Amino acid sequence: MDRIRIIGGSPLVGRIPISGAKNAALPLMIASLLTSETLILDNTPRLADVALLKRILGNHGVEVTVEGKRAGQDEFLGETVRLTAADIVDTTAPYDLVSRMRASFWVIGPLLARVGECKVSLPGGCAIGTRPVDFFLTGLQALGVELEIDSGYVIARAPGGLKGGRVVFPKVSVGATHTILMAATLARGETVIENAAREPEVVDLAECLIKMGAKIEGAGTSTITVTGVERLHGARHSVLPDRIETGTYAIAVAMAGGDVTLDGARYDLLDSAFDVLLEAGAEITRLNDGVRVVRNGHGIGPVRVTTEPYPGFPTDLQAQLMALTTRAKGSSSITETIFENRFMHVQELARLGARIHLDGDTATIEGVERLKGAPVMATDLRASVSLVIAGLVADGETTVNRVYHLDRGFERLEDKLSRCGAEIERVSG
């Protein structure tokens, strides 16, 4: 099993290209089920989750092809993926696939919209919390779907087709917003989604669906209105840059020190996180096609942060920020309000010398003068990269095990960091 080996102490200087957003690419790929024509997605990241979703969609009959690289093309430029769902050959999403990636449950919306029935496995538990699908199911029922739960599967039918309706989420859910948004594009009449997620990835999906012929208003606000159309057509769309990858590398520079330009990053997608990093002592500059992050000579200042749905501080950067605050000059606090069980990285950071006290959903971090390298174990995607960030400044060698978590959401992380001066490598076996 691969692991990441890091020798801490090197500042980061150079350029890091930001890949397409995983959290946008997955629903965009699933949207291909809504049309018999070809959907072309540029800037698709090369990630384990993307590869798995290609297999899942292939199981439903989607023909997936990837355009080859052209001579002189940047090695970090995303893939161009062509998805054609001319015929839906199987409306069952089996447990062995859905259990490996929760986002694959979202196929329930497009399958119902396109063919009026499906059988989709419940995704089961999750390392960072239960993340129930109740919101998905009540939302689909508001569109006229008949549901039955049997042997761990959701059996869903819309014999007369989906009908527009009013969907009110009791709590903001990105996945449920994606699912109902896709389903509503082919429903008869108007659908109003209230308390919708406002994340940029939701907006990116809506923009792609509009290119495919959907009628959508309000994406990016808490109320989205969808007027159903009879059919959607093919389109070409470029996946937006990954704001979580952007924030992760920005935090890495703030931790290790240095001067790095994040090519292709969009400042406007990450205002709240950049505000926190500015408070911590980093210098951040908005560029025409990227973001520059600098921290030279200044110590890291303590911060107080609460994770919130967009546009608040993202839960997907909580672990990375905690790594940064372990070296702050003073006491920091981070309150996690989105997912339970998302502090599993705390014990691993403690192995490096971090001083962190947990009280319910709040972690208090007392900054220390130095961290010391040690073997650590990744527990989930964001936790794993927080350990890499801590290892960048830890004395001696840090080895991060179970890095398959990293490969789900970060494209060639060790290559991007090493070309900016980090002493980091992937060790196989």
Q: Would you say 148 and 119 are in contact if contact means Cβ atoms under 8 Å apart?
A: no
Q: Is 22 annotated as a binding residue?
A: yes
Q: Is 150 annotated as a binding residue?
A: no
Q: Is 108 annotated as a binding residue?
A: no
Residues with catalytic function:
126
The strand order across the sheet containing 12-17 reads 12-17, 258-263, 290-295, 283-287
Q: Is 163 annotated as a binding residue?
A: no
148-155 CB contacts, 8 Å cutoff, 24+ apart:
149/122, 152/95, 152/121, 152/122, 152/124, 153/95, 153/119, 153/120, 153/121, 153/122, 154/108, 154/119, 154/120, 154/121, 154/122, 155/118, 155/119
Q: Is 54 annotated as a binding residue?
A: no
Distance, CA of 305 to CA of 415 (rounded, Å): 30
Distance, CA of 248 to CA of 302 (rounded, Å): 18
Distance, CA of 322 to CA of 354 (rounded, Å): 10
Query: Which sign does the torsion angle of CA 83, 84, 88, 90 carry?
Result: negative
Q: Would you say 55 and 45 are in contact if contact means Cβ atoms under 8 Å apart?
A: no
Q: What region does 21 belong to: left with phi over 0, alpha with psi -120 to 50, or beta?
A: beta
Q: Is 74 annotated as a binding residue?
A: no
Q: Which residue has the tokens 């994606």?
A: 178
Q: Is 202 annotated as a binding residue?
A: no
Cβ density class 70-88: b for 16+ within 10 Å, e for less: eeeeeebbbbbbbbbbeeb
SS3 content of the chain, % helix, strand, coil (to 5): 35, 30, 40
Q: Is 316 annotated as a binding residue?
A: yes
Q: Point out which residues pair with 381 in neighbouring strands.
A: none
The strand order across the sheet containing 153-157 reads 92-93, 117-121, 153-157, 146-150
Q: Is 171 annotated as a binding residue?
A: yes
Which residues are documented as binding site?
22-23, 102, 171-174, 316, 338
Please report, in range form, the residues annotated as the binding site for UDP-N-acetyl-alpha-D-glucosamine: 102, 171-174, 316, 338
